[in-house]
Amino acid sequence: MTELLDKTGLEWEFVDAYDGSQIKVIDQKIYYNDVFTGWYHDSSVVLTDQIEQFARLHYRKYWNIPYISDVSVYIEDGGTVAWIGKGGIRQFSINANYFRRYMNMYEIGCALTHFEVMRAITEPTLVVGDNVYLVGNLEHILERAKWYDLLWDIVFLNIPGYGGNPGYIEPGTLATFSDEFDIHVYSHFSSTCSYIVKENLFTNVNTINLPLDDYFSRRVDLILLRVKEPVFMADYTGVSGESTIDLE
């Protein structure tokens, strides 16, 4: 990571992550190394917004309907069954447990780490995981982000998407405003391995109830952008701290 970051020409620093093995949740309180760190709520929440996204993708894929704006979700049978409605009429049901998140301690640790970084920054900042490698033109993307500074809150650099289809844009949003970015106002992003975030967005966040990418997706007040081509990708083949990346 030191070699990779030095090649970017940016000023950078490492941030110690929260170790999930040292986290405990007792009575909705998060303790790290036995020190109270924050609050955790709704460990059994059903992500109805993701069910709605799933339904829209279903209609688009199987019924050739590009967008359904009046999709609704009804949770029944103790929270295990989700009925999908269209135009107020129930259409089909799915297993709601596929969209239920019980956060493990490592997901809580990840969220704690990122929120701590975002609370501390005083200017737009690039945040990357410690297992990524550079595959695109970072300098060019950073310059484009500056040009459109007023039009985004977070820019994702690793093409996160939903349902294996990162190119899906919901109608009603500004789909393309430059050669580099597609804009999502309400979409699901999987993975937070690399993103640019503005300052002062998360200064008051002290409750964690979703993994970070799910949390971003539910913040419909944020303007989320993604790059069309990846700038960073995760190095999933690295083992025992030894990267397989050829920095040459």
- Is 29 in a helix, a strand, or coil? strand
As a residue count, the chain comes to 248
Query: In this predicted structure, what is the pLDDT of residue 181?
Result: 62
Residue with tokens 């982000």: 145
Pair of tokens at residue 167: 């190119």
pLDDT tens, per residue, the chain with 248 residues: 888 888 888 899 999 999 999 999 888 889 999 999 888 876 566 777 767 767 766 666 566 665 566 778 888 877 788 888 887 788 888 887 767 667 889 989 999 999 999 999 999 999 998 888 887 888 888 888 887 777 788 888 876 544 334 444 443 344 444 555 655 544 556 678 899 999 988 887 778 877 887 788 667 577 777 777 778 877 655 433 444 444 44
Report all structural domains of the chain as residue ranges with CATH numbers, in order of start: 2-19+103-234 (3.90.550), 48-99 (no CATH)
Pair of tokens at residue 61: 């894929």
Query: In this predicted structure, what is the pLDDT of residue 236?
Result: 53
Closest CA to 54 of 167, 173, 187, 226: 187
Burial of 126 (0-12, 13-18, 19+ CB in 10 A): buried
CA distance 227 to 225: 7
Diameter over CA atoms, the chain: 58
Within 10 angstroms of residue 160's Cβ, the number of other Cβ atoms is: 23
Closest CA to 3 of 200, 235, 236: 235
